[in-house]
């Protein structure tokens, strides 16, 4: 009995587990897909909130002024902006 068939079979098994398309790589890719799907869901929630904000600003001029005051520290003449630091 020669050792060659066992070496070949061992090589095939190692490639099936650790090769570029092996089980380990598939597990890594599944984990990456899961992380990407979670991030995608977060981005979709952010986009939905931004869309609501845009629709609100289209309808509400005061909302635009409030957002400008909050984000850019811009206010109509004669107004006072109060800024509170958070810890």
pLDDT of residue 20: 77
| Residue 69 · residue 63 · CB < 8 Å | no
pLDDT of residue 1: 60
* Domains of the chain, residue spans: 24-76
Average pLDDT value for residue range 14-43: 87
pLDDT of residue 44: 97
Is pLDDT above 90 for 36?
A: yes
Find tokens 């060659």 and name the residue. 4
Which of 83, 66, 84 lies closest to 75 in space, CA to CA?
A: 66
* pTM of the entire predicted model: 0.52
């Amino acid at each position: 009995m020669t050792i060659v068939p066992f070496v070949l079979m061992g090589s095939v098994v190692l490639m099936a587990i650790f090769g570029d398309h092996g089980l380990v790589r598939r597990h890594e890719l599944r984990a990456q897909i899961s992380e990407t799907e979670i991030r995608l869901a977060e981005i979709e929630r952010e986009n939905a909130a931004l869309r609501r904000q845009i629709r609100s600003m289209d309808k509400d001029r005061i909302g635009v002024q409030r957002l400008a005051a909050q984000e850019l520290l811009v206010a109509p003449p004669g107004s006072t902006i109060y800024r509170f630091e958070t810890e």
